[in-house]
């Protein structure tokens, strides 16, 4: 890490990046945002925006279970619980008993209510309230290592599954006729999203994780004309929002996660306006 810090000192000779915690925060953003952006493109295509929101809210419940079991490793707790919660939501969705948005809403509200019930016992919730807004400035070197592993593994799996995921999202019947195991593909994708969300939630926060996953992908979709462009612009917008939000939050002394999401929201508004202007010109 000392070598990486030395390179950053050369490339970023700015006062705010002279501190180790700011270097760690920047590295976390550079590792975290591309993975969320790529997964966000497929979440947007599959209309799963509220699914990631349900996962984010369930983090409180997962943390509460970890507290009851006396587990100290927050990351392991969140990842394991997120995978189980995601698979349960997907399983119930596939039974067709209720609409997908109804099922997701039930799981989202139930997860956050159970989490608050457990964590607020004896007035202890203030101890865990930071998970609501996150704190990327608390990233450690070990966290960066895990984020790097998650990025490499996530991008590799996303690339391997992309064609099957896209075909499954567009036409499940056609995908099945091509011999694609749509159930397995869907479970693999939701597990990947669950791991990414739960790894990110400690630094982005329960209230903002869904926006960071969806906004860059939604902005990219406004101006993209192909799947490749969608992925490229989503990663670009996500990286820009992450770095820009981190830098802006320092002089404002505000939440990094909120600043990042507002940057992404601004990009979405600009791309939406641009797409409308281009559409009007084409129709003229």
CATH code, domain carrying 105: 1.10.3470.10
Vertex 72, ends 110 and 105: CA angle to 5°? Answer: 15
Q: Report the pLDDT value the prediction gives residue 8, as an integer from 0 to 100.
A: 75
Residue 124 lies in a domain: yes
Specify if 186 maps to a domain: yes
pLDDT of residue 136: 75
Model confidence over 145-195: pLDDT tens digits? 888 888 898 888 888 888 887 777 777 777 777 777 878 888 888 888 888
pLDDT surpasses 70 at 131: yes
**Averaged pLDDT for residues 10-21:** 77
For 62-97, the pLDDT digits (tens) are 888 887 887 777 778 888 888 888 888 888 877 766
Distance CA 39, CA 43 (A): 6
Structure tokens at 4: 């990486």
Whole-number pLDDT of residue 178: 77
271: in domain: no
The pTM (predicted TM-score) of the whole model is: 0.84
Q: Please, are residues 57 and 234 in contact by the beta-carbon 8 Å criterion? A: no
Residue-wise pLDDT for 35-65, tens only, equals: 888 888 888 877 777 777 788 778 888 888 8
Residue 43 inside a domain? The answer is yes
Q: According to the model, what pLDDT value does residue 284 have?
A: 60
CB 58 within 8 A of CB 209: no
Q: Assess if residue 246 is contained within a domain.
A: no
Alpha carbons 221 and 230: distance in angstroms, whole number: 6
98 pLDDT band, cuts 50/70/90, is low
Counting the structural domains of the chain, the total is: 1
Q: Which residue in the block uniquely carries the two structure tokens 């509460």?
A: 64
Give me the pLDDT at residue 233, please: 93
Is 26 within the bounds of a domain? Answer: yes
Mean pLDDT of 124-141: 72
pLDDT at res. 271:
94
Report if residue 7 sits inside a domain: yes
**Looking at the domain assignment, is residue 84 inside a domain?**
yes
With a cut of 90, say whether residue 236 has pLDDT above it: yes
* Residue 122 pLDDT level (bands cut at 50, 70, 90): low
Range of the domain at 160: 2-204
């Amino acid at each position: 890490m000392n070598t990486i810090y030395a390179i950053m000192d050369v490339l970023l000779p700015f006062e705010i990046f002279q501190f180790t915690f700011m270097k760690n925060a920047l590295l976390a953003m550079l590792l975290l945002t591309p993975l969320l952006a790529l997964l966000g493109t497929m979440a947007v295509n599959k209309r799963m925006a509220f699914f990631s929101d349900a996962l984010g809210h369930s983090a409180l419940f997962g943390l509460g279970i970890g507290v009851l079991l006396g587990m100290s490793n927050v990351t392991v707790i969140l990842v394991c619980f997120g995978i189980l919660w995601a698979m349960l939501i997907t399983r119930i969705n596939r039974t067709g008993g209720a609409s997908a948005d109804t099922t997701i809403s039930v799981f989202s509200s139930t997860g956050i209510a159970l989490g608050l019930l457990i964590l607020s016992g004896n007035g202890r919730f203030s101890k865990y309230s930071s998970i609501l807004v996150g704190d990327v400035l608390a990233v450690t070197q070990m966290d960066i290592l895990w984020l790097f592993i998650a990025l490499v593994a996530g991008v590799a799996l996303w690339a391997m599954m992309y064609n099957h995921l896209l075909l499954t999202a567009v036409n499940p019947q056609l995908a099945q006729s091509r011999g694609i195991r749509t159930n397995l593909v869907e479970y693999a994708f939701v597990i990947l999203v669950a791991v990414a969300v739960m790894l990110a939630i400690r630094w982005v926060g329960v209230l903002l994780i869904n926006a960071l996953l969806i906004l860059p992908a939604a902005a990219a979709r406004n101006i993209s004309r192909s799947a490749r462009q969608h992925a490229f612009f989503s990663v670009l917008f996500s990286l820009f929002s992450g770095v820009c939000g981190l830098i802006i939050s320092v002089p404002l002394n505000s939440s990094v996660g909120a600043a990042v999401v507002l940057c992404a929201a601004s990009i979405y508004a600009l791309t939406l306006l641009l797409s409308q202007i281009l559409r009007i010109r084409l129709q003229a």
